[in-house]
Amino acid sequence: MVEERQFLEKAKIMAIFDREFNPPEINKEKCIGCGQCAKVCSALVLEVTEKKSKVVYDEVCSGCGHCWAVCPEEAIYHQNASTAIDLRPGASPAVPDDTLTLLFRERRSIRVFKDKPISNEILEKILEAGRYAPTASNRQDVNFIVLPNIEKVSELRTLVERFMEKTFNSLKNPVIRMLFNLKYGNLVIDQMSGYSFVYDFLKSRKEIHTYFPLPFGQAVIIVHARSFDSMAQFNCAVALYNCSLMSHSLGLGSCFMGFVHFGANMDKGIKAWLGIPKDHETYGAMVIGYPDVKYRRLVERRKPDVKWLKLKDSQTNYLFYGYRGRPLSYEAARRIFKKHLDKAQLSHKPYSLHCLRHTFASEMLNGGMSLQSLQELLGHSDIEMTRRYARLTDNTRREQYYKAMQIIERGDINGHYRCDHQLP
């Protein structure tokens, strides 16, 4: 039991990075033992015993507040999550699906802004939206940096311009380009080269309001978190998107700024100017302001590439099958195989379905499958074809040899072919 609790405590530290949460408190007199709190607790902190809820693993409580929010009798108090008792959700759902869809489609990347400052009250409302974004294991570890006025935004723009010019000029050096390629990958280098061309074209046109890399907005919000947290990128992205939606609902426009994001991570001077800790990484930046443009129509987006994972058709004996459970044709199988080769960037290799079939047969035999069973799977009418088709590895031959020798040495073979006389 002690070892189990130590393991749970270690798991909690890894999940929420040393943040302390007090476990929920149960009012036994109010508790009716309905079990709703235990049902929604993914960390298994609570269980129902003797018709009352009980805290059993307080070590792993992440303070999500599900137990407090779901209790019908107000029998649970959670110090880290409880709010005013009369603060309750509205109608369910709070927003109709068509209204929410309209919000998603209305929100656009705005790069043309009015020369109108944003009040701190409005900025705080936007940050509240980011505060209530979900985070992995309820980490609540998204950190915000706000540049609340045009003066600070202009300073940041100057720093980012210097970073971009220095980076783009460095890429002209083949040695530095090779080092960049090793660190960031060929795709990033190709993108940077493209941006370099655009930047050279636009830098003489700074008076244009949509100026790249940082439009002339009235404020900037940057999100950062610990660099070693594998979920930090997701947490920060969701929080910043919440801020973007709230900005739109308050009559403002916003635009996510990739080069501010990159500059804060790649340039020590920008990172120090923003006051981001050394063990943190920036995961997003967004400029906001009152839009000086009105979009009159909703635009379309291409259909998503969706793969529906369905249950196998119980009416067919085929593992892979075509339309209505019919056998998959060779041409259809070849197209599927080629598609995945292209995705894996292996299309330059001489791989084919025939190679895949050979590999399958060899692996099955090496794994101990009998030749007769393999013959059925391959659909061969003659077992001689199966013998020629499949190949045993040297390891398999060696294992079978030693296995046979052990049987012989034990004298477990009693065949009529065995003779007692000496060999000539």
Among 30-34, 73-77, 195-199, which is the least confidently predicted range? 195-199
Among 124-128, 150-154, 181-185, 227-231, which is the least confidently predicted range? 181-185
- Asked whether residue 11 carries a pLDDT value surpassing 70, the answer given is no
- Asked whether residue 377 carries a pLDDT value surpassing 90, the answer given is no
Average pLDDT over residues 72-89: 77
Helix (H) or strand (E) holding 407: helix 394-409
Query: Cis omega before residue 93 (within 30°)?
Result: yes
pLDDT at residue number 330:
82
Each domain of the chain, given as residue ranges in start order, spans 2-77, 98-289, 323-409
Distances (CA, A) of 212 to 196, 340, 360: 11, 37, 53
Share of the chain above pLDDT 70, in %: 84
Q: Quickly state the pLDDT bin for 71 (edges 50, 70, 90).
A: very high
pLDDT at residue number 164:
86
Q: Quickly state the pLDDT bin for 423 (edges 50, 70, 90).
A: very low
289-307 per-residue burial string, b: 16 or more CB within 10 A, e: under 16: bbbeeeeeeeeeeeeeeee
Among 30-39, 126-135, 390-399, which is the least confidently predicted range? 390-399
- Asked whether residue 92 carries a pLDDT value surpassing 90, the answer given is no
pTM: 0.71
Rg (Cα) of the chain, in Å, rounded? 32
pLDDT tens-digit map of 106-143: 999 998 899 999 999 999 999 999 999 999 988 899 99
Q: Please check whether the two domains, 2-77 and 98-289, share a CATH topology.
A: no
> Hey, CA dihedral for 248, 253, 258, 264, is it positive or negative?
negative
Average pLDDT over residues 276-289: 95
Average pLDDT over residues 271-291: 95
Share of the chain above pLDDT 90, in %: 38
Among 55-59, 85-89, 338-342, which is the least confidently predicted range? 85-89
Structure tokens at 4: 């189990």
Q: Quickly state the pLDDT bin for 418 (edges 50, 70, 90).
A: very low
How many whole angstroms separate alpha carbon 100 and alpha carbon 104? 6
Q: Looking only at Cα atoms, what is the longest distance across the chain?
A: 110
- Contact indicator for 167, 192 with CB cutoff of 8 Å: yes
Q: Which residue has the tokens 């799977």?
A: 377
pLDDT at residue number 322:
75
Treating both helix axes as pointing N-terminal to C-terminal, what angle do 330-343 and 353-366 enclose, rounded to 10 degrees? Answer: 90
- Asked whether residue 417 carries a pLDDT value surpassing 60, the answer given is no
Average pLDDT over residues 323-332: 78
CATH assignment, 2-77: 3.30.70.20
Which of 52-66, 119-133, 342-356, 385-399 tops mean pLDDT? 119-133
Q: Quickly state the pLDDT bin for 424 (edges 50, 70, 90).
A: very low
The better pLDDT of the pair 13, 224 is held by: 224
Residue 261: phi, psi to the nearest 5? -60, -50
Average confidence score pLDDT of the chain: 83
Average pLDDT over residues 323-334: 80
- Asked whether residue 410 carries a pLDDT value surpassing 80, the answer given is no
pLDDT at residue number 204:
67
157 closest CA partner among 213, 196, 221 = 213
Among 315-319, 364-368, 416-420, which is the least confidently predicted range? 416-420
225: helix, strand or coil: strand
140-153 per-residue burial string, b: 16 or more CB within 10 A, e: under 16: bbbbbbbbbebeeb
CATH assignment, 98-289: 3.40.109.10
Burial (Cβ within 10 Å: 0-12, 13-18, ≥19) of residue 112: middle
